[in-house]
Amino acid sequence: MTDSKTDARIVSTPSAYAYPLLVSQLLVNALSLSPEQEITYQGTTQGTTRYTYRAFRGRIGQLASALGALGARHGSTVAVMDWDSHRYLECYFGVPMMGATLFTVNVRLSPAQILYTLNDSQAEIVLVHRDFLPLLEEIRDQLPGVKRFVLMADGEPAPATTLPLAGEYEALLAAASPDYPFADFDENTRAAMFYTTGTTGDPKGVSYSHRHIVLHALTTATTLCSPRTGQRLHREDVYMPITPMFHVLAWGIPYVAILLGLKTVLPGRYVPAQLLALRASEGVTFSHCVPTILQMLLQTAGETGQDLSDWRVIIGGSALQPALCAAALDAGIDVFSGYGMSETGPIVALAQLAPGARPASREAEIAMRCATGRPVAMVDFRIVDEQMRDVPHDGRHQGEIVLRAPYLTEAYHGKPEASEALWAGGYLHTQDIAVMGADGSVRIVDRIKDVIKTGGEWVSSLEVEGLVAQVPGVRECAVIGVQDARWGERPMAFVVSQPGHAVDAAGIRQRLLDHVAGNRLSKFAVPEADRIVFVAEIPKTSVGKINKKHLRESLLG
């Protein structure tokens, strides 16, 4: 019997025959199985670009050759600022395949933030759509590390600019060889990075290796393809992302689409009527977007009487609300939630109905589609208390979602302390508080900073807010935890009443106790009468959310 660490007989060293997990390998089937499959791009000005997977592969080689000629090599960072285009998809493959890092710049950040991220990422080359030239002109003097700018003219004549351009994307590709000598390398090589912005501090860099991207694609493909019917992806789908490709690698789905050989439609800049026209003309059957986009699409489709059936749409970015879900179902869309964060690959749960599940009612079905979802294949998805013990999977006990999976971010770029906090105890901490049902369905109830820990129970501030808001006479409510010598914390409710309605603390308390009696609320969640206070207004953040930090500080005096 032998020791594990030293026995070459049972632990093999990766050899010449090993097969590292590289982004290039997501392409291997493309040429043998689907060489004639289509990729299309709907530019805002130049009409439709349409080419085959075979041509796509050639252009990836040309892109790498062109970037190599501009000085990019293994280890370089290449930044992209573009709308959703075939060019972006080419960069998703070509930049990592040459061993460089694709930095997907969030073009919605402020110029100061973009400046910070371009410098922090050590970007050497920036590929920039004509629309974002003015932004770069503004910060260009503060980008000492950027050696080259490449224009994406998008079919238009090159605009006047003070930026020193190294060339135009299409012209550079046309002059470059498709036969770039892509080689194998360590699968832990960084393939892509981007920045996540919190409420405080500088944006934090998140990166993914080739191995992360490939394993995310395989587990996501397995999970999305495996349902018998409904909430699924299959080989005959036509895919169109409606999540910007700078956002968490558009959730990794473009890699899944190419792996499966799907016709892929890149819609350019998002214009609802154009998106719907593209969906119809290209036969799109699978997409993903944020709730706001879905809302706009439904409204536009309603105005023009368009049929949206045979369209499966994953909703991410923020929670899918029941009313929006119902409207989408009415329009014929098979809509369902996905869950993840910039740090998690990102997809770690999908709100697919459980195998064989027959929801008891339309409300139950909507609740399942709007829930956080069920864990993706191989994702070790735990709901734990403060001692990292699993809470019961009974749909009632709350805990923090902590994760292990083969594709989670290992660290924030250059921020060891934040990285350590992210991975306390060997699991990635999402800071989301949730419950899990017996069938693995997860529902987020709060953020950890807002949950109230009282008498050994975790109380969702959002849940109490929702119930208080239902009390007649209440216009708005915010609940936070306040320190309590006996219970650790206790909930405190700030209530704005409706003018002309009689509502008082005792009345609110009684309504909450009714919910306790009905087994719909923990008794620990009911604030004492003196912790239900009436205020003229609730403080809000710049994006309209309740500013709980401000509420907490106001209590400190």
Active site residues: 196, 343, 453, 458
Establish if 38 lies at the interface with a copy of itself (CB under 8 A): no
- Residues 469, 474, 478, 481: what is their CA dihedral angle, to the nearest 10 degrees? -90
Residue 209 engages a copy of itself in binding (rule: CB under 8 A)? yes
For 430, other C-beta atoms within 10 Å of its C-beta total 22
Nearer to a copy of itself, 193 or 298 (CB): 193
**544-552 CB contacts, 8 Å cutoff, 24+ apart:** 546/478, 548/449, 548/450, 548/461, 548/478, 548/480, 551/478, 551/480, 551/494, 552/480
In single-letter form, the type of residue at position 164 comes to: P
Query: In whole angstroms, how close is the CB of 431 to a copy of itself at the nearest point?
Result: 17
Q: Which amino acid makes up residue 499?
A: P
- What string of H, E and C letters represents the secondary structure of 237-255? CEEEECCCCCCHHHHHHHH
**196 lines the binding site for a copy of itself (CB under 8 A):** no
The nearest distance, CB 365 to a copy of itself, in angstroms, is 18
Would you count residue 523 as binding a copy of itself (CB under 8 A)? Answer: no
Pick one of 74, 523, 540, 550: the residue that binds a copy of itself (CB under 8 A).
74
15 forms part of the interface with a copy of itself (CB under 8 A): yes
* Residues in 224-253 that interact with a copy of itself by CB under 8 A: 225-228, 233-236
Query: Does 108 help bind a copy of itself (rule: CB under 8 A)?
Result: no
CA 502, CA 403: separation in Å to the nearest integer? 47
Dig out the tokens for 423 from the structure.
């991975």
Report how far residue 341's alpha carbon sits from residue 196's, in angstroms, rounded to the nearest whole number: 9
Q: Which residue number, 73 or 108, has a Cβ lying nearer to a copy of itself?
A: 73
Please report, as a single letter, which amino acid is at residue 394. Answer: D
Q: Which of 137, 156, 179, 186 binds a copy of itself (CB under 8 A)?
A: 186
209 vs 243 by CB, closer to a copy of itself = 209
Q: Is 112 in the site for a copy of itself (CB under 8 A)?
A: no
- Contact pattern from residue 339 through residue 378 relative to a copy of itself, giving x for each residue in contact according to CB under 8 A and a dash for the rest: ---------------xxx-----------------xx-xx
Q: Which of 7, 179, 330, 386 binds a copy of itself (CB under 8 A)?
A: 7
Cβ 228 to a copy of itself shortest distance, Å: 4
CB of 159 or CB of 440, closer to a copy of itself: 440
The answer to whether residues 249 and 95 touch, using CB atoms and an 8 Å cutoff, is no
Rounded to the nearest whole angstrom, what is the least distance from the CB of residue 10 to a copy of itself in the complex?
4
Q: Quote the CA–CA distance of 187 and 209 in Å, as a whole number.
A: 7
Task: Name the residue nearer to a copy of itself (CB basis): 14 or 134.
Answer: 14
Of positions 79, 136, 221, 297, contacts a copy of itself by CB under 8 A: 221
Interface of this chain with a copy of itself, residues 412 to 441, rule: CB under 8 A: 423, 426, 428, 436, 438-440
Decide: is 73 part of the binding site for a copy of itself (CB under 8 A).
yes
What is d(CA 490, CA 421) in angstroms, rounded to the nearest whole number?
A: 26
- Asked if 151 and 130 count as a contact pair (C-beta separation under 8 A), the reply is yes
Min CB(399)–a copy of itself separation in Å? 13
Give the shortest CB-534-to-a copy of itself separation in angstroms. Answer: 43
Helices (H), 283-354: 291-304, 322-330
Contact positions with a copy of itself (CB under 8 A) in 287-346:
none
> In residues, how long is the chain?
557
Position 392 contacts a copy of itself (CB under 8 A): no
Binding of a copy of itself by 76 (CB under 8 A) = yes
Shortest approach of a copy of itself to residue 401 CB, angstroms? 12
Nearer to a copy of itself, 31 or 529 (CB): 31
Q: Which helix (H) or strand (E) holds 154?
A: none
Selected binder of a copy of itself within 45, 46, 48, 188 (CB under 8 A) = 188
Strand order in the sheet with 428-436: 380-384, 399-404, 428-436, 442-447
Which residues, in sequence order, are CB contacts of 388 under 8 Å at separation 6+? 402, 425, 427
User: Among residues 87, 190, 204, 279, which is the contact residue for a copy of itself, using CB under 8 A?
Assistant: 190
Give the residue, chosen from 10, 160, 360, 485, that forms a contact with a copy of itself under the rule CB under 8 A. 10
Contact (CB, 8 A) for 525 and 466 = no
Tell me which residue has tokens 């003196």.
530
Quote the least distance from Cβ 64 to a copy of itself, whole Å. Answer: 15
Say if strands 399-404 and 380-384 run parallel, antiparallel, or are unpaired: antiparallel
**Token pair of 100 as six digits:** 């460089």
Which CB, 74 or 362, lies closer to a copy of itself?
74
Of 474, 457, 400, nearest in space to 433 by CA:
400
Residues 116-135, interacting with a copy of itself (CB under 8 A): 124
Cα 407 to Cα 70: distance, rounded to the nearest angstrom:
31
Residues 116 and 91: beta-carbon distance below 8 Å: no
Report 43-72 residues binding a copy of itself (CB under 8 A).
71-72
Q: How far is the CB of 310 from a copy of itself (least distance, A)?
A: 12
Evaluated on CA atoms 383, 387, 389, 394, the torsion sign reads negative
Restricting to residues 253-272, which ones interact with a copy of itself according to CB under 8 A? 259-261
